[in-house]
Structure 1
């Protein structure tokens, strides 16, 4: 672990050299694939040539090649044999995405990220007792592909768990046969049964599903809080959604100063970031030696046909960028769908600011997910509220009526005053987003937001109805359409 910290320090200090060397390794490795031949990888001598020849691609653009691999063809996008796919539906897409997982991406990206997470944690907390107990991780499930029975597809967490080395499997709980169950309700029951008597020292997973499990454990055991179940617990490694709105929720269910929280950026497409400092929230070191070459498209160019992508040495602090990746699994100039913002460039640290498709901009207000989460968190603090989930969408203008935003919020602990909660939410959005503030000025274009408190369990019921319980499935925080909002309202009314 100490040796690895030295290597992390190396890319912190030499980021551009590390990324350039990695870039040429990717190009050299893939030059004889069908994709490499199509775009002349053999002759590429610079990143600029690569950008000029190879288009930025969405999943839909790459799918014809991905489908060939799903059906059993090899050496299409990447030369190594692809036998696993991470199945991702994003946040709301009805159609699943199949992301190739090569042996290199599994070993040099996903597993390396997991080991680095431990290395960084131990480096920051040298007195840790993490290894005296087990890590409880909540994963998804996998099954043979509908395209080819020899290819396996599943949630990225399930792909990782299924391929863990023996030493790593021995350090985690619950048993693999429980962790990979596909029926969410049965899985929760079995996880409770098999983990309550273990000495759990750490948790990892999506905050939403982890909290559901912890609540169930307290219900079954009759304990007051989780420290009575697992006295040695000290770490929760979380990702997939911003932790800010959930922080108070976890502090109440795990009320101990020994508890540490660590964010990671681990997607189906790769492992990209780790929180490397103890005293920050949601700020992660961009991991530069995981077989991923990064590019960044400024958000004001994201809808252009040929946007100018920037390399790491060209980015600026505080700006929102769409993340573009080229990986050791054959995703080339792939638009992952996430937006990030740099909080530091020496070293390069990032915050996830949202999704390229998840925002509200019905009236030119350009509200992104990060804005919403900051405002929700502040409103909770001001009113003593604790939330479990939320979503928001526009209220479109009608004859004689102004537009606005409508929020559905599920509270674990209701605000002492919902009207005050709404005021703080609105005021915070105005403070951090000048476009929103301009539209709210004297209610010119936007009226005050409408906030509804929905019954507990509403969002889980909605996900269940859509067949999306568990795994990395998550609630769409913002949408420019009212589709999801109307579905949830109908569910509540019925």
Structure 2
């Protein structure tokens, strides 16, 4: 067994940076205190009296009382438009060196989210914690000598107002520490190529020169890259090209819908590890193999709050009502849906990131993502989270032995009745009426609110099957290929009409 691999593995096992014994409640109290102290002399800190909050007997309670919730549009209009202009000391000391561009999954217009040096350090520290957690996964020593393919957006960042702009994966990759450079693939030269298809073509051409042990990236684009590499080398599966591939670090979206199609590209099973890296920060990672849940990073520049995910607290545009109750990590309960709100070292304050989560283990601060606030399908009282939609699609894959890596749907009115109209991305030929019945039956049994809705306002389910490539073409036409781009799972009627026209024309 390789000496270097044994040394690295030994260092990882000896490290105490990741420990299940750390107290998340105490860590979060300290993080909030550090954030308030750092930002008390900014314009935001003065406006909301951070100095007085720090003196309060119950800092967390006073923070909740004094500082309002913000979604991106709200904080941009009131505060970040000044940061975008290059002004200093607005919501965080100094001014950010980077802005993460993110169109998310709900629109074409890019958000410009500040990324400070403190946030770069936070992301890097969380990444190290994740690497150290690999000690729990019983990987062989020689794994730690292999190269890692990080498939993100271009690292060729654009300069604007003395700051660099790009997607968070590109910003992170451009800040890889020097000691990691020899392990990182596709390397700086290829990573700078902005055109997705050209970048993947270069990866395919170089693939056999690399000894890849791990992959990292969003599942949909990772699948397309692997397909291209396999096709270019006329191989049966990716292990014929990279025989030592053992780990895939997934992120951006739930891996479940992609599991079957992803595994079809492999020659042997690999370890899949979930991560939660957003434009706003590195939130969580899977720390142990016994669960698919992820551990919140509670000691690293991000303070978390949790709002019960109830219709009365969510406005029609997905934002929060200002009197919605928020809970600390000491107050949450198991298996309840919460809207995630964060305050960070990048100057986001009580910021609605747009995701919903539930706790699977409170002592370990382990969560799983259940959906998006804007993707919660409740038009006619069906109360379906993305998590439940993913489960339904996985049920279809198992029942009919097919692959459905992509889907989207809308609760839309047809004549005078509401239907859930689904588009399923699959290469299999299967009766659409059968799929609609199976979807409907599964959701009736899995969700009581859906069952009630089906007996009242929700008339039925309609299904259209199309090739998965249509979803990627839609993203390319509306945003761009690769990087952080994700398919919207639930659409409003106006957006769905655009999608329907596009998808139907592809046929």
User: Could you say which TM-score interval applies, normalised by the shorter chain?
Assistant: over 0.9
Q: What is the aligned counterpart of 2:436 among 415, 418, 422?
A: 422
Counterpart secondary structure, 1:278? coil
Q: Distance in 2 between matches of 1:201 and 1:85?
A: 31
**Unaligned runs of at least 5 residues, structure 2:** 1-10, 316-320
Name 1:8's counterpart in structure 2: 18
Matches for 1:263-412 after TM superposition, within 5 Å:
263-281=274-292, 283-300=293-310, 301-303=313-315, 304-399=321-416, 402-412=417-427
Cα 1:278–1:485, aligned 2, differ >3 Å: closer, same or farther?
Answer: farther
1:260 maps to what in 2?
A: 271
Q: Deviations over 1:47-86 (max 9, x none)?
A: 1111111111111111142222222222211114411111
Counterpart check, 1:59 vs 2:72: yes
Q: 1:459 aligns with which of 457, 471, 480?
A: 471
How far is the alpha carbon of 1:484 from its aligned partner? 3.2
Inter-partner Cα distance in structure 1 for 2:382 and 2:159: 42
Number of the residue aligned with 2:113: 99
Contact 1:368 1:478 (8 Å CA) reproduced: no
- The answer on whether the counterparts of 1:87 and 1:97 sit within 8 Å (CA) in structure 2 is yes
Matched, 1:18 2:27: yes
Q: Please tell me whether residue 206 in structure 1 is matched to residue 218 in structure 2.
A: yes
Mapping of residues 146-295 of structure 1, within 5 Å: 146=160, 148=161, 150-257=162-269, 259-281=270-292, 283-295=293-305
Q: Do the aligned partners of residues 355 and 471 (structure 1) sit closer, same or farther apart at CA in structure 2, a change above 3 Å counting?
A: same
Q: What per-residue deviation string (whole Å, max 9, x for no partner) do you get for residues 372-412 of structure 1?
A: 0011011101110112311001131534xx32111111114
Alignment of 1:42-121 (within 5 A): 42-44=51-53, 45=56, 46-64=59-77, 65-108=79-122, 110-121=123-134
- Measured in 2, the distance between the counterparts of 1:80 and 1:22 equals 20
Q: Is the 8 A contact 2:17 2:129 kept in 1?
A: no
| Partner Cα distance (2:81, 2:208) in 1 | 42
- Determine helix, strand or coil for the equivalent of 2:90: coil
For residues 493 and 430 of structure 2, the distance between their equivalents in structure 1, rounded to whole angstroms, comes to: 30
Range with bigger deviation, 350-359 or 225-234: 350-359
Answer yes or no: is the 8 Å Cα contact 1:4–1:119 preserved in 2. no
Per-residue CA distance 1:176-199 (angstroms, 9 max, x = gap)? 121132111111111212333210
How many residues are paired up?
A: 483
1:108-130: CA deviation from partner (whole Å, max 9, x where unpaired): 2x112221221111332252432
Matched, 1:439 2:450: no
Shift of 1:371: 0.9
- SS of 1:438's partner is helix
Secondary structure in structure 1 of the residue aligned to 2:118 = helix
Distance in structure 1 (CA, Å) of the matches to 2:453 and 2:47 = 48
Structure 1 residue 418: Cα displacement: 4.4
Moved more, 120-129 or 37-46: 120-129
Q: How many angstroms does 1:359 deviate by?
A: 2.2
**Aligned partners of 1:122 and 1:81: how far apart in 2?**
37
Tell me the distance in 1 between the aligned counterparts of 2:331 and 2:433.
44
Residues 378, 485 of structure 1: alpha-carbon distance in 2 compared, 3 angstrom cutoff: farther
Alpha-carbon distance between aligned partners in 1 of 2:447 and 2:106, rounded to the nearest angstrom: 26
Cα distance in 2, alignment partners of residues 30 and 317 from structure 1: 33
Contact 1:386 1:411 in 2 (8 A): yes
Residue 7 of structure 1, CA deviation:
3.7
The answer (yes or no) to whether the contact 2:113–2:279 under 8 Å persists in 1 is yes
What SS does structure 1 have at the residue aligned with 2:424?
A: strand
How far apart, in 2, do the equivalents of 1:382 and 1:251 lie? Answer: 17
Q: Distance in 2 between matches of 1:297 and 1:473?
A: 26
- Give the Å deviation of 1:3: 7.3
Counterpart contact for 1:462–1:488, Cα < 8 Å = no
Deviations 1:217-256 (A, max 9, x none): 1111000001100000000000111111111112111131
Change (3 A) 1:294 1:330: same
1:230–1:326 CA distance, 2 compared to 1 (3 A): same
Point out where structure 1 has 5 or more consecutive residues left out of the alignment. none
Deviation, 1:23, is 0.9
Displacement after TM superposition at 1:428 (Å): 1.9
Q: Helix, strand or coil: the match of 2:222?
A: helix
User: Residues of 1 paired with 2:404 and 2:361: CA distance?
Assistant: 30
SS at match of 1:447: strand
> 3-state SS of the aligned residue for 1:409?
strand
